[in-house]
Amino acid sequence: MAMMIKRVASTAARSLLSSSNSPFTRNLHASGGKKKIVGVFYKGNEYASMNPNFVGCVEGALGIREWLESQGHEYIVTDDKEGPDSVLEKHIPDLHVLISTPFHPAYVTAERIKKAKNLELLLTAGIGSDHIDLNAAAAAGLTVAEVTGSNVVSVAEDELLRILVLVRNFLPGYHQAVTGDWNVAGIAYRAYDLEGKTIGTVGAGRIGKLLLQRLKPFNCNLLYHDRLRIDPELEKQTGAKFEEDLDAMLPKCDVIVINTPLTDKTRGLFDKDRIAKCKKGVLIVNNARGAIMDTQAVADACSSGHIAGYSGDVWFPQPAPKDHPWRYMPNHAMTPHISGTTIDAQLRYAAGVKDMLERHFRGEDFPEQNYIVKEGQLASQYR
């Protein structure tokens, strides 16, 4: 998802920023000329040269290095993002543009915003704005925007994969093949068909809608909870039923898929009490954000069997530490954050990043649907 912070001074923001007491006092007006752009991505290492379209890594640099440097801009790319001695921290005070990715996020805190005196634009190549302190960005008069839809197909497909992996109890069979075992009973005792099962998505935005459409051919019972109902025609097409009350939906579901953004309201949404409201033996897929779940509550529920299987690619923090409880809980099918960074998705969000930069350099607005914070106001889903 590509997300961008561009300096925009609204009336309210100007008032705040002109105050000598404000930690964000600065000149928000971008000047022309040479820009210092820093990109923070994961390292491709030995895999970087194996695919010319592998642009989402440090070595690929989103495929925009030649273009940026031909215009006289300085482009620094690194994976070193944490701590006072990191490469990112070194460049925070004088960078103009920071590009990051949810797969290896550069956490943009209020303190970093305060230090970044020249910051004009912050982009995230991917979808999701939770690694940015949105309230601090709004208070500073910044604009946060995303390349909307850049990897929604990638994530929805991955969710379907994870549902099938859990429902069919795939992983024990794979491990048997690797270790030389052969124990059909050890797989079959908890392997099921997807047909006829009740699947509920918590959130039915772009990814949630795509998932419902992809689940339709499996003849499941489809439920969704969201703050808004989806289009009646799509409801009819998918057969999905709207559930206004989340807690009423949960015990109906054999599989729950998390498709809501991480906001102040959804952080820790699935704590011990809410997980207890789910059906015993529920399967949960979460490719949204790890912090929507209470980490220890999920691990405990997997250990007790209340959650029969948990799969996702999102953790908190990221990269996940080696002692993260989800690495060691039973019946999980976790991976690093990969669902939205397929080669196809990389090409889409790299193109979106370039488009956003071009618009920024020309002083043009972004597509309206891309804004998360504009002129000091958060988008409705984040309020």
**127 known member of a binding site:** yes
Catalytic-residue membership of 337: yes
**151 known member of a binding site:** yes
**337 known member of a binding site:** yes
Phi and psi at residue 36, to the nearest 5°: -100, 115
What is the C-alpha separation between 108 and 137, in angstroms, rounded? 9
**Among candidate residues 324, 312, 338, the one with its CA nearest the CA of residue 159:** 312
Q: Which one from 104, 289, 306, 324 is the annotated catalytic residue?
A: 289
**150 known member of a binding site:** no
**265 known member of a binding site:** yes
Q: Which one from 318, 331, 346, 370 is the annotated catalytic residue?
A: 318
Catalytic-residue membership of 318: yes
Cβ contacts of residue 350 below 8 Å, gap of 6+? 55, 56, 62, 63, 64, 125
Q: Which one from 7, 151, 259, 324 is the annotated catalytic residue?
A: 151
**321 known member of a binding site:** no
**370 known member of a binding site:** no
**313 known member of a binding site:** yes
**327 known member of a binding site:** no
Rg (CA), the chain: 22
**206 known member of a binding site:** yes
**261 known member of a binding site:** yes
**338 known member of a binding site:** yes
Q: Are 340 and 126 in contact (CB under 8 A)?
A: yes
Q: Which one from 337, 348, 360, 370 is the annotated catalytic residue?
A: 337
**Among candidate residues 370, 355, 367, 363, the one with its CA nearest the CA of residue 67:** 355
Burial class (CB in 10 A: 0-12, 13-18, 19+), 283: buried
Catalytic-residue membership of 151: yes
**Among candidate residues 107, 93, 103, 157, the one with its CA nearest the CA of residue 127:** 103
Catalytic-residue membership of 289: yes
Q: Which residues are annotated as a binding site for NAD(+)?
A: 206-207, 226, 261-265, 287, 313, 337-340
Q: Tell me which residues are annotated as active site.
A: 151, 289, 318, 337
Binding-site annotation: residue ranges = 127, 151, 206-207, 226, 261-265, 287, 313, 337-340
